[in-house]
Amino acid sequence: MHCQRTSCTSCSRDSCCTGCSQPKELFLRRQEADFLLRFAELPFLPAARFMLRRFGESSRDGDCLSPVFLQTPCDTLEVIHTTASILTRLASLGLISISYTEPLGHFNYAEYVNSDAFLEFSAQAESFTVPEIEYGSMALTALGQEAIDDLELTVLPRAII
């Protein structure tokens, strides 16, 4: 996919405009492309946010880990951080959206609660903090669908994520 990352000279829109005929260019790392291809299989995926909430206060950015997507219940925090950086970049490029106000209705989030990563994250809790999970979802955007359509599937073999 081609996506211009600066203002479009034809229409003066911001990055990745789709309103003109200028070629657009977008560079994805192999892991990002592989993860994006997961959305071709399932347009909605579960997400979660791990938080350490102090009694009577809202959580701070440093007390949160998001977005969390479990590949297996045995994923470590290191794996979760790697996946989170991939998802954050895909969201910043406008290829996916992440929402914590719209969890997947029929998805069982119990594997997140019982995961090794949440247990490891909860161990970081200090006095007067409570570990919590906020459920959410991820979805492919129209731009993300365009990117999937433009990926050369025969050239990009799937890597293990």
Every domain of the chain and the residues it spans: 30-150
Q: For residue range 68-112, list pLDDT tens digits in order.
A: 999 998 999 999 999 999 999 999 999 999 999 999 998 999 999
Please determine, for residue 39, whether its predicted confidence score (pLDDT) is greater than 80: yes
pTM, whole model, 2 decimals?
Answer: 0.76
Please check whether residue 118 is in contact with residue 112, taking contact to mean a CB–CB distance below 8 angstroms. Answer: yes
Report the pLDDT value the prediction gives residue 13, as an integer from 0 to 100. 47
Tell me whether residue 70 is exposed, middle or buried, using C-beta atoms within 10 angstroms of its C-beta: 0 to 12, 13 to 18, 19 or more.
buried
Please check whether residue 102 is in contact with residue 137, taking contact to mean a CB–CB distance below 8 angstroms. Answer: yes
30-150 architecture in CATH? 2-Layer Sandwich (3.30)
Q: What are phi and psi of 56, to 5 degrees?
A: 80, 5
Structure tokens at 81: 């951080």
Q: For residue range 109-158, list pLDDT tens digits in order.
A: 999 999 999 999 999 888 778 899 999 999 999 999 988 888 754 344 55
pLDDT interval class at 64 (50, 70, 90)? confident
Other CB atoms within 10 A of residue 75 CB: 20
Query: What is the distance, to the nearest Å, from the Cα of residue 4 to the centroid of all Cα atoms in its chain?
Result: 22
